[in-house]
């Protein structure tokens, strides 16, 4: 008599725990760690003109291997340079970006190669 009454409650409790574990597992799968630098690169539209790791526009150079030619500092200089001093001046200047963001993007690109 005692065990008969408790069984549904125990089953319900076990199902409830399974639900928590499944939800946690799905949440962990759904939230891959996105590199903040990559988020910036997406938000700033770099891929509108540049290919990065196989995706992006072909208006300018592929940046995937840029780290083999430029240092992180040189990439940062490119990002903040005055467009009128460049050969093809249509890359916008990102000089108004916070210094931390500039460093983040430059380091990310430098480390890609
Ligand atoms: C509107 C198009 C456009 C956008 C958007 C753009 N670029 Fe560029 N980018 C260019 C062009 C054109 C050049 C070549 C400029 C020159 O002659 O110096 C260039 C050059 C570069 C270079 C030097 C490449 C080399 O081969 O020396 C780097 C690094 C770079 N861009 C990074 C970025 C990053 C990072 C972003 C996003 C924050 C970005 N670009 C957004 C058009 C663009």
Domain positions in the chain are 1-32, 34-113
Q: Which of 38, 46, 60, 105 to mutate to test the pocket of ligand 1 (most atoms within 8 A of CB)?
A: 60
Q: Average pLDDT for residues 75-86, to the nearest whole number?
A: 93
Q: Average pLDDT for residues 40-49, to the nearest whole number?
A: 97
Q: Is the distance from the beta carbon of residue 72 to the nearest atom of ligand 1 less than 6 Å?
A: no
75 CA → ligand 1 middle, Å: 9
DSSP 53: T
Q: Is the distance from the beta carbon of residue 87 to the nearest atom of ligand 1 less than 6 Å?
A: yes
34-113: CATH topology: Cytochrome Bc1 Complex; Chain D, domain 2 (1.10.760)
Specify the pLDDT at position 113: 85
Which residue has a Cα nearest atom 23 of ligand 1? 78
Confidence category of residue 103, pLDDT binned at 50, 70, 90: very high
**Single pTM value for the model:** 0.79
- By CB atoms closer than 10 A (0-12, 13-18, 19+), residue 26 is exposed
Contact 109, 67 (CB under 8 A): yes
What's the token pair of residue 74?
Answer: 């040189």
What's the token pair of residue 108?
Answer: 């990310």
Q: Is the distance from the beta carbon of residue 59 to the nearest atom of ligand 1 less than 6 Å?
A: yes
Specify the pLDDT at position 25: 74
Contact 66, 79 (CB under 8 A): no
Contact 80, 95 (CB under 8 A): yes
Contact 56, 50 (CB under 8 A): yes
Higher-pLDDT residue of 73, 24: 73
Contact 81, 91 (CB under 8 A): no
Confidence category of residue 36, pLDDT binned at 50, 70, 90: very high
Which residue has a Cα nearest atom 42 of ligand 1? 91
């Amino acid at each position: 008599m005692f065990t008969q009454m408790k069984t549904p409650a125990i089953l319900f409790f076990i199902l409830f725990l399974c639900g928590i574990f499944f939800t946690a597992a799905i949440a962990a799968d759904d939230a891959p760690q996105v590199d903040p630098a990559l988020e910036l690169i997406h938000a700033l539209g770099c891929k509108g003109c540049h290919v990065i790791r196989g995706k992006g526009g072909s208006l300018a150079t592929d940046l995937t291997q840029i780290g083999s030619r430029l240092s992180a500092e040189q990439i940062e200089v490119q990002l903040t340079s005055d467009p009128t001093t460049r050969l093809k001046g249509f890359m916008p200047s990102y000089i108004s970006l916070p210094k931390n963001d500039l460093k983040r993007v430059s380091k990310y690109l430098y480390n890609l190669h």
